[in-house]
A and B are shown apart, each in its own frame.
Chain A
């Protein structure tokens, strides 16, 4: 693999990770998943930085990624504290629970009725009763089904 090809492919991977994180942070409503998407964007940036660092033979990219790790740790600590406080107030990890803070000209997010999750009860085969009904055992009638 030539250095240019390696740079190209690594930059492509970084771009894909960044775009995926962008989609997640734009569209998801769970606060935790939003922060995970932000971390995914940081990972894409890290890959790009290290690729450039390898290409130029400079340690700057490595050093920047170390600082990205540091800031991500701080950000995660503070963000999780805020998420916990928000959860203590609203009881939900929902970004739309704080939609009173939105701009005045934006419409209100309303949850329509959602279809139920498909948890169908298991279907067992039914046999048609046939033959002579056996006499009930008196001992069995005294037994409990569950101990």
Chain B
């Protein structure tokens, strides 16, 4: 059925999916209503979101079969659905938890793409460190219950339409690129272009290179060989961010202390 839909009028399907995505995001975003209206609009938004997902998937290629495809389908749906829940969730704590699930989905996508180190690093660095930091700040700063600013959005209709149109354009561009001739597979490396020879890495050997057993060793060799200066710069950036954040915090505390002292005297 999806093939029929996509085969007949892919443009119309894409348009309908984009409209569905916009309506769904608009319905799901907090707009300050309450009670039954909110519940109905949430259900409607969820249904429309599922319809938009089906439409977007059918404009792509038919997803099916077992193995890599189904794993990719599952992890990408986890990533996309929990990403949407991150954006539309009223409570920021729930949004952070949904973001953790989105990170798990993204890590799964990276694993399917053969980036083992990056998949694990995403979980460790994002879910383990950055997200926990966000949750600490939420515990420090979040008032009890839902704050009024969590229940309303800035221009929900305009931003939902903006995001959906951007998504439609990107889907269109990606579909055209994959429908066209595979010129992208033959990008010569700089050294080969300088030497005037054919590129030695064909896509097949490239895939086997990325999926090699010593994947992490090769990635490390690339990182600390060709990109050594960038690694040093990144280390400097981390140090500056650390020093800067400590300086800002301690200065803010000092200001608060002098203000409190002034108030006391």
Binding site for B on A (CB under 8 A): 1, 3-13, 15-24, 26-30, 32-33, 35-37, 39-40, 43, 46-47, 50-51, 53-59, 62-63, 65-67, 69-78, 80-85, 87-88, 92-96, 109, 111-112, 114-118
In angstroms, Cα B103 to Cα A43, docked, is 8
Rounded to whole angstroms, the CA-CA distance of A37 and B72 in the bound complex is 23
CB <8 Å contact, B83 and A20:
yes
Please choose the segment from B5-13, B40-48, B152-160 that sits at the chain A interface, where 4 or more of its residues have CB less than 8 A away.
B152-160
User: Roughly how many angstroms separate A13 CA and B167 CA in the complex, as a whole number?
Assistant: 10
Q: Report which of B33, B68, B154 forms a contact with A27, defined as CB distance below 8 A.
A: B154
Cβ-defined contact, A9 with B80, below 8 A: no
A67 touches B230 (CB 8 A): yes
B237→A81 contact, CB < 8 A:
no
B69 close to A1 (CB less than 8 A): yes
Query: How close is A93's CB to chain B, nearest CB, in angstroms?
Result: 5
B72 touches A9 (CB 8 A): yes
Chain A residues with CB under 8 Å of B87's CB are 20-21, 23-24, 28, 33, 37, 40
Contact A77–B103 (Cβ < 8 Å): no
> Which residues from A are CB-within-8-Å of B258?
none
B39–chain A nearest beta-carbon distance, Å: 8
14 contacts between A and B (CB under 8 A): A19-B170, A20-B87, A23-B25, A26-B155, A27-B159, A29-B154, A39-B99, A40-B87, A47-B106, A53-B115, A59-B219, A66-B223, A70-B234, A118-B38
Kindly supply a per-residue 1/0 record for chain B positions 72-85, scoring 1 wherever the CB is within 8 Å of any chain A CB and 0 otherwise: 10001001100110
Report chain A residues within 8 Å CB of B174: 8, 11-12, 15
Interface residues contributed by chain B, number (CB under 8 Å): 110
B196 within 8 Å of A (CB atoms): no
Residue contact A23 to B149, C-beta cutoff 8 Å: no
User: With A23-B163, A56-B206, A66-B223 in contact, is A12–B141 under 8 Å at CB?
Assistant: no
Please tell me if the beta carbons of B110 and A26 are within 8 angstroms of each other in the complex.
no
If the complex has contacts A39-B130, A40-B99, A114-B152, are A83 and B141 also in contact, measured as CB distance less than 8 A?
A: yes
Are the CB atoms of A13 and B76 closer together than 8 Å?
A: yes
Chain A contacts of B178 at CB under 8 A?
A: 4-5, 7-8
Q: Which residue of B lies closest to A114 (CB)?
A: B32
B207 at the interface (CB under 8 A from A): yes
Cβ-closest 10 pairs across A and B: A57-B206, A115-B34, A23-B163, A74-B241, A24-B87, A26-B159, A15-B170, A27-B159, A19-B167, A94-B149
Shortest CB-to-CB span from A17 to chain B, Å, is 5
B15 contacts the other chain (CB 8 A): no
Q: A87 — nearest CB in chain B belongs to which residue? A: B141
With A36-B96, A74-B238, A77-B242 as known contacts, state yes or no: A27 contacts B32, CB within 8 Å: no
Asked whether, in the complex, the Cβ of B219 is within 8 Å of the Cβ of A111, the reply is no
Question: Would you call A77 and B245 a contact (CB within 8 A)?
Answer: yes
What residues of chain A lie closer than 8 Å to B106, measured between beta carbons? 17, 43, 46-47
Residues of chain A within 8 A of B171, CB atoms compared: 12, 15
